[in-house]
A and B are shown apart, each in its own frame.
Chain A
């Protein structure tokens, strides 16, 4: 018998993990890849917004340069690809500067609402009984709230009380008003996800390996963290991408209605500012809207691709 001693690397060669399989499948998902490409473009724009945009962001005085040059309310041209507004700002630059806030909203809302919904969903589903009853009633309270109304109300109340427009965290300026909107949107958005996650946990809990872990002395915390959470992670990831899309939409709506942060020029805010000029300066409305649309589309495409790639029932 030929017993070759294998190298450590050969021995340690892992089998294909669930994630490697999912990535392989995602790579074959065309619309998912298109969405991912769009998100990468968006991230690049946001990262280099100061370099890409021809004009600086407000409140820098140069943001109004087209006004001084007598080019306000101009239709799209080579100099101003998205045209200019009545007050004389370049729409292209403003949309580019706004991308950073969009990403902030998408990521922050997703982190907060996922943390809440995953926490509540797992604890509720795993422990059941009284814990489940209490947590689910709380969840339902958030579900039956007319959430948009509350978001508008709270953001207006808090905006009034804000003293300084920006927090300075390690040299990064974080807009206070927008953060308040983010927190409020998250608080009113997690409830339906918590229900989905609870359902997944209930299904998971019946699996024999959970029972096996229990029979081997695993604690509840251990089972939740090590067995249940990783196994519902695919669903959480899909929900997270969809949350990003809806967060962008809700923030745009809040800003568009004039309840957003007055100190940050988000895409919704841009649309709100130029609304009264809609009949003449349509481009100041269309391009920020298009940006919102494409971003939401991108997140949805990725979410769709991920849910196919992570679905164990479609495994090859």
Chain B
């Protein structure tokens, strides 16, 4: 059973320069208890997709269409008051920058306890106990002391642990991690990734990893969704995607630097398109080495090419045959 199903989600930003189609017809599903990678370059709509699920898209963004089915219920039809009960309690989000996502004025304990109190109407002492428990789960050293300290007294990695604890306080069913390691240094990154992996296993949580790091995806995820310019390019199991990729995914994989090869760093030519006026047809065609005229004219549908492996490409048949 799928915990989350997003169908034809459209989230546009109504800026003064024009309408930015940040998420355009995104369709994906997340199986209960699995880890799904949401991959793409910056500006591909990964974060906006997560924000849309929680309905916290910042202005001037607006969800203008589609469905977000969580346990079969469409979150886009919920009232704001009902939606608030989902945020934090059923669906949580870990942010990219742990430093700026904690309120600098309050101690860790008081700001985390607030969330428990707000949702469960418990006494302060009980809330604090829950906070200590959550901090222990994320292996923050000395949680009894930590709750009396301010965010600036912790290192970046510790702060990210605190943020993860905050997201897990109310045992959500679904956790989005929005590039949780981007602002941390490499050794800490590995620790946080290991922690998330362990937590997912221990708590049986459903985790959506938003990242642009194919290494993280390969290490953690069972399924992957590849986004490009607000469109789903490909989705499927990690094996399918690494073995029979979409031309865009293929280009992404080639761009991962490798230690065992002495070659120049490969990059995808061109830039991510301007989403006010996205390319016609397939949005990747101006940068695609396999593009043909058809790609310019018609948007390829998301087709099932194998066992729940979906690709949006006109040429997938010949390309897969050719590359094998």
Q: Known contacts A16-B150, A231-B103; decide if A11 and B144 are in contact (CB<8 Å).
A: yes
Among the listed A129, A207, A216, which residue makes an inter-chain contact with B87, where contact means beta carbons less than 8 Å apart?
A216
B97 within 8 A of A: yes
Residue pair B105, A230 in contact (C-beta under 8 Å): yes
B102's partner among A128, A209, A230 (CB-CB below 8 A) is: A209
Chain B hits for A219, CB < 8 A: 84, 118
A12–B97 Cα distance when bound, in Å, is 27
Q: Which of A14-28 contact B (CB under 8 A)?
A: 14-18
Asked, given contacts A13-B148, A212-B95, whether A128 binds B87 with beta carbons under 8 Å apart, the answer is no
- Given A15-B107, A18-B104, A215-B92 contact (CB < 8 Å): yes
Interface centre among A11, A217, A218 (most CB of B within 10 A): A217
Q: Identify the closest chain B residue to A212 (Cβ).
A: B101
B56 touches A214 (CB 8 A): yes
A215 touches B114 (CB 8 A): no
Q: Which residues of A contact B166 (CB under 8 A)?
A: 212, 216
Query: Cβ of B119 < 8 Å from any Cβ of A?
Result: yes
B93's partner among A215, A222, A227 (CB-CB below 8 A) is A215
Residues of A within 8 A of B88 (CB): 215-217
Residues 49-93 of B contacting A (Cβ, < 8 Å): 54, 56, 58-59, 84-89, 92-93
What distance in Å separates the Cβ of A232 from its nearest Cβ neighbour in chain B? Answer: 11
Give the contact-size bracket for chain B: 35 or more
Kindly state the separation between the CA atoms of A212 and B115 in the bound complex, as whole angstroms: 11
Is B307 an interface residue, CB under 8 A from the partner? no
Given contacts A14-B107, A18-B104, A230-B105, contact A211 B95 (CB under 8 A): yes
Chain A residues, CB < 8 A from B102: 209, 212
Establish whether residues A214 and B87, one from each chain, have CB atoms under 8 Å apart when the complex forms. Answer: yes
A11, A208, A231: most-surrounded residue (chain B CB, <10 A): A208
Contact A217 B97 (CB under 8 A): no
Q: Does B100 contact A (CB under 8 A)?
A: yes
Any B CB within 8 A of the CB of A226: yes
B171 within 8 A of A: no
CB under 8 Å from chain A, chain B span 260-293: none
Q: Can you list 16 residue pairs at the A/B interface with Cβ under 8 Å?
A: A14-B149, A208-B96, A208-B101, A209-B101, A211-B101, A213-B103, A215-B88, A215-B92, A216-B92, A217-B84, A217-B88, A217-B115, A222-B114, A222-B118, A226-B114, A231-B105
Interface residues of chain B, those whose CB is within 8 Å of chain A, are: 54, 56, 58-59, 84-89, 92-93, 95-97, 100-107, 114-115, 118-119, 144-145, 148-150, 152-153, 163, 166-167
A residues sitting closer than 8 Å to B (CB atoms) are 6, 11-18, 128-129, 207-209, 211-219, 222, 226-227, 230-231
**5 pairs of A and B residues whose beta carbons are closest in the complex:** A216-B88, A217-B87, A217-B88, A208-B100, A212-B101
